[in-house]
């Protein structure tokens, strides 16, 4: 069997597995967020928080909850790293410097998981397991909560109420993420991922002498790292490390975990707004773009353009033998189109065009299918933009899911789509214009520029993967990527929740013969087109200077 054919079969198997999980998981999540019963453990947690989970919140109160919880997360994680040197259970590892501790705290709380440190040598058990892995859960739960709030905005009428943030946060963690992650972690261990607290120890070698490893709770972190579209690896090599991703099966399984919640949330959306067909239309948009990108990346990587790869006879630099080119391309697309940022192969060593495809994937705004929760709300914003464009063409007031898209709604949606491009382009321009930041580049010329562009694209879109040649552990990059991650996560959330509040307050407009049928393939086509055109217009000049210049040289 040729490697290309095997790659295509892996893609088809993955689609089959995701299709099987789609309805049960999507329906389950819809029930979780609509339920009026509380589990006993949840009641204990609410008592600990001191919050009544049955109080309905308007969008401002919901937003305050998100921000207070996230601020507490940044502060706690920052202090944990700064105090690592004095904490028990960290094998004598020193505390993390302030700029890097800020960057890492911002990174994990924003669901980005950009890493300017190497896990196995810098972070001890306590920081990894009780700090970083915790944010893997809760930042994902926050993302889903905000998405659910927006969906409630569409589903509800003549009320400003969007649900209770604490209840959504706790349920997402306790009822969705923890059970699935626990099962997934055991599967990973069964295939060879490690899970121990043995710390640093010596292991004998074939030729004599010994090598030193750092053990840890790797499988439990790996499971939620993929499931919560986080991406921060226990080890420096992330999911290329054999202890995180030991076999070809675990590789495919991890891609499944990355995609399963973002895709199933479109079902949850459909159920909650009372039309699963609306969910299918959003799903079709996501899958169309994702499959298109997989095809493009497989093509560029199997073609292996570029002098060094031509000399080698294949694009295996930075890729593992057990995965090969096909499965690495599948992982690369899935991780960059979902705000995950875990890598099983190193994007900096992809072909010039292949690296550009992973970058373009992030530039779409992490919506196909996007991060857990953030993918759905990002895509719904794009749907509003698409409906608006269609409305302009026929001269009608646009509406979506029975809600009028008036000037307030379209302003909020437009603000949302301006935030991340502004962050990416301004920080990239500053980094190449100032005298010292370019010293961090490993490559020169077009590839060096790509390293910086990739860094800020990844940070602002909360992805977290890197063209890792860039030395990002400097005060400049730690500070600027930290800010890009925080602004890129929370400013759009403000617009999403404001929009949700505005929609929930409207009275529904009945559908007429003139209403655009948003559950039809025509709308999916319109939406795919709108996404590609808007992203293309925004980023083409920057892409032309980096990956296109390298790939076409």
Partner 1 sequence: MNHSVTNTVRLFGAGLRALLMLTLVTGVIYPLLVTGVAQGLFHDKANGSEITAHGKVVGSSLIGQSYDLPLKKGQETPDPDLKWFQGRPANGLGSNSVNTQYKLLLSGATNLSADSKDLLRQVQDAKAAVVRNNSVPGYTVKPSQVPAEAVTSSGSGLDPDISPRYAKIQVHRVAERNGLSVGQVEKLVKDKTEGRTVGFIGEPRVNVLELNVALKDLVARR
Q: Which of residues 430-459 bind partner 1 (CB under 8 A)?
A: 442-443, 446-447
Residue 100 beta carbon to partner 1: minimum distance, rounded to whole angstroms:
10
Residue 543 beta carbon to partner 1: minimum distance, rounded to whole angstroms:
16
The window from 15-23, 72-80, 406-414, 487-495 that contacts partner 1 (CB under 8 A) reads 72-80
Question: What is the Cα–Cα distance from 317 to 348, expressed in whole angstroms?
Answer: 9
318 binds partner 1 (CB under 8 A): yes
Question: What is the Cα–Cα distance from 94 to 96, expressed in whole angstroms?
Answer: 7
Residue 520 beta carbon to partner 1: minimum distance, rounded to whole angstroms:
35
Residue 80 beta carbon to partner 1: minimum distance, rounded to whole angstroms:
10
Which string of x and - marks every residue 371-410 that binds partner 1 (by CB under 8 A)? ----------------------------------------
Q: What is the DSSP letter of 174?
A: I
Which string of x and - marks every residue 208-237 that binds partner 1 (by CB under 8 A)? ---xxxxx-x-xxx--x----------xxx
Question: What is the Cα–Cα distance from 236 to 244, expressed in whole angstroms?
Answer: 11
Residue 263 beta carbon to partner 1: minimum distance, rounded to whole angstroms:
20
The window from 21-29, 173-181, 277-285, 370-378 that contacts partner 1 (CB under 8 A) reads 173-181
Residue 9 beta carbon to partner 1: minimum distance, rounded to whole angstroms:
4
Residue 45 beta carbon to partner 1: minimum distance, rounded to whole angstroms:
5
Residue 502 beta carbon to partner 1: minimum distance, rounded to whole angstroms:
23
> Taking Cα atoms as reference points, which of 265, 258, 261, 414 lies closest to residue 341?
258
Question: What is the Cα–Cα distance from 437 to 270, expressed in whole angstroms?
Answer: 46
The H or E element containing residue 172 is none
Size of the site for partner 1 (CB under 8 A): 129
323 binds partner 1 (CB under 8 A): yes
- The answer to whether the bond into 369 is cis (omega within 30° of 0) is yes
Question: What is the Cα–Cα distance from 283 to 266, expressed in whole angstroms?
Answer: 6
344 binds partner 1 (CB under 8 A): yes
Our CB check for partner 1 shows the closer of 1 and 513 to be 1
Our CB check for partner 1 shows the closer of 215 and 482 to be 215
The window from 239-247, 265-273, 390-398, 508-516 that contacts partner 1 (CB under 8 A) reads 239-247
Q: What residue has token string 């994007």?
A: 347
204 binds partner 1 (CB under 8 A): yes
Among 279, 352, 378, 464, binds partner 1 (CB under 8 A): 352
The window from 202-210, 365-373, 424-432, 490-498 that contacts partner 1 (CB under 8 A) reads 202-210
> Taking Cα atoms as reference points, which of 298, 304, 266 lies closest to residue 282?
266
Among 19, 23, 68, 544, binds partner 1 (CB under 8 A): 68
Question: What is the Cα–Cα distance from 266 to 171, expressed in whole angstroms?
Answer: 18
Question: What is the Cα–Cα distance from 79 to 439, expressed in whole angstroms?
Answer: 30
User: Scanning residues 46 to 65, which ones bind partner 1 (CB under 8 A)?
Assistant: 48-51, 64-65
88 vs 48, 84, 101, 215, CA distance in Å?
Answer: 26, 8, 18, 16
E strands, 335-486, where? 399-400, 403-404
Q: Which residues are 200's β-sheet partners?
A: 214
334 binds partner 1 (CB under 8 A): no
Among 37, 40, 203, 407, binds partner 1 (CB under 8 A): 203
Q: How is residue 86 written in tokens? A: 């004095």
User: Scanning residues 77 to 106, which ones bind partner 1 (CB under 8 A)?
Assistant: 92-94
70: Cβ–Cβ under 8 A, 6 or more apart, which residues?
Answer: 109, 110, 139, 142, 490
Our CB check for partner 1 shows the closer of 217 and 362 to be 217
Which three-class secondary structure state does DSSP give residue 102? Answer: helix
Our CB check for partner 1 shows the closer of 134 and 147 to be 134
Our CB check for partner 1 shows the closer of 5 and 540 to be 5
Residue 150 beta carbon to partner 1: minimum distance, rounded to whole angstroms:
21
Q: How is residue 518 written in tokens? A: 């948003």
The window from 52-60, 153-161, 171-179, 333-341 that contacts partner 1 (CB under 8 A) reads 171-179
Q: How is residue 380 written in tokens? A: 């719904």
166 binds partner 1 (CB under 8 A): yes
Q: What is the DSSP letter of 349?
A: G
138: Cβ–Cβ under 8 A, 6 or more apart, which residues?
Answer: 69, 73, 169, 173
122 binds partner 1 (CB under 8 A): yes
For 390, other C-beta atoms within 10 Å of its C-beta total 18
Residue 253 C-alpha from the chain's centroid: 17
71 binds partner 1 (CB under 8 A): yes
197 binds partner 1 (CB under 8 A): yes
User: Scanning residues 453 to 512, which ones bind partner 1 (CB under 8 A)?
Assistant: 467-469
Question: What is the Cα–Cα distance from 313 to 156, expressed in whole angstroms?
Answer: 58
Our CB check for partner 1 shows the closer of 467 and 523 to be 467
Our CB check for partner 1 shows the closer of 14 and 412 to be 14
Our CB check for partner 1 shows the closer of 321 and 407 to be 321
Our CB check for partner 1 shows the closer of 94 and 397 to be 94
314 binds partner 1 (CB under 8 A): yes
Q: What residue has token string 């562009």?
A: 453
**Up-side HSE of residue 463: CA atoms within 13 Å toward CB?**
34
544 binds partner 1 (CB under 8 A): no
Among 72, 509, 544, 552, binds partner 1 (CB under 8 A): 72
The H or E element containing residue 429 is helix 407-433
Pairing of strands 399-400, 210-214: unpaired
Which backbone phi and psi does 507 adopt, to 5 degrees? -95, 145
Question: What is the Cα–Cα distance from 105 to 232, expressed in whole angstroms?
Answer: 12
Our CB check for partner 1 shows the closer of 240 and 376 to be 240
309 binds partner 1 (CB under 8 A): yes
Q: What residue has token string 């790797």?
A: 218
């Amino acid at each position: 069997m040729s490697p290309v054919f095997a790659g295509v079969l892996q893609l088809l198997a993955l689609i089959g597995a995701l299709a099987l999980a789609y309805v049960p998981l999507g329906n389950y999540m819809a029930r979780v967020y609509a339920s009026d019963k509380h589990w006993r453990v949840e009641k204990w947690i609410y008592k600990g928080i001191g919050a009544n989970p049955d109080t309905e919140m308007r969008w401002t109160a919901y937003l305050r909850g998100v921000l207070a919880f996230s601020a507490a997360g940044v502060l706690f994680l920052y202090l944990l790293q700064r105090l690592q040197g004095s904490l028990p259970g960290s094998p004598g590892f020193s505390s993390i410097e302030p700029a890097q501790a800020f960057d890492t705290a911002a990174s994990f709380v924003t669901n980005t998981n950009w890493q300017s440190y190497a896990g196995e040598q810098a972070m001890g058990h306590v920081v990894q397991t009780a700090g970083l892995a915790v944010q893997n859960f809760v930042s994902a739960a926050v993302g889903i909560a905000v998405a659910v709030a927006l969906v409630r905005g569409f589903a509800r009428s003549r009320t400003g109420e969007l649900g209770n943030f604490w209840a959504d946060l706790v349920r997402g963690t306790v009822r969705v993420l923890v059970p699935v992650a626990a099962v997934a972690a055991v599967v990973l261990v069964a295939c060879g991922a490690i899970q121990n607290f043995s710390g640093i120890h010596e292991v004998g070698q074939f030729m004599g002498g010994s090598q030193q490893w750092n053990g840890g709770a790797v499988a439990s972190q790996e499971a939620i790292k993929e499931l919560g579209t986080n991406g921060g690896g226990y080890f420096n090599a992330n999911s290329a490390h054999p202890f995180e991703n030991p076999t070809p099966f675990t590789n495919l399984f991890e891609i499944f975990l990355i995609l399963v919640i973002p895709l199933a949330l479109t079902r949850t959306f459909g159920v909650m707004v009372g039309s699963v067909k609306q969910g299918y239309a959003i799903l079709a948009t996501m899958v169309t773009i994702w499959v298109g990108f997989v095809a493009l990346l497989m093509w560029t990587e199997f073609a292996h353009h570029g002098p060094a790869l031509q000399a080698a006879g294949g694009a295996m630099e930075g890729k593992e033998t057990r995965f090969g080119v096909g499965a690495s391309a599948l992982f690369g697309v899935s991780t960059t189109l979902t705000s995950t940022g875990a890598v099983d192969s190193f994007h900096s060593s992809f072909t010039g065009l292949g690296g550009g495809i992973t970058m373009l994937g992030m530039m779409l705004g992490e919506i196909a299918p996007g991060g857990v929760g953030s993918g759905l709300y990002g895509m719904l914003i794009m749907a509003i933009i698409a409906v608006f464009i269609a409305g302009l063409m026929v001269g009608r007031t646009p509406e979506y899911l029975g809600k009028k898209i008036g000037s307030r709604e379209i302003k909020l949606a437009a603000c949302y789509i301006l935030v991340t491009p502004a962050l990416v382009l301004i920080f990239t321009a500053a980094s190449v214009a100032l005298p010292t930041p370019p010293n961090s580049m490993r490559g020169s010329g077009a590839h060096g520029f790509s390293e910086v562009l990739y860094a800020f694209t990844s940070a602002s879109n909360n992805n977290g993967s890197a063209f890792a040649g860039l030395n990002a552990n400097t005060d400049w990059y730690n500070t600027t990527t930290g800010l890009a991650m925080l602004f890129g996560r929370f400013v759009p959330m403000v617009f999403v929740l404001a929009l949700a509040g505005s929609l929930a307050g409207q009275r529904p407009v009945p559908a007429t013969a003139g209403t655009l049928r948003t559950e039809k393939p025509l709308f999916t086509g319109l939406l795919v087109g709108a996404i590609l055109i808007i992203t293309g217009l925004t980023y083409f000049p920057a892409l032309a200077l980096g990956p296109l210049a390298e790939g076409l040289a």
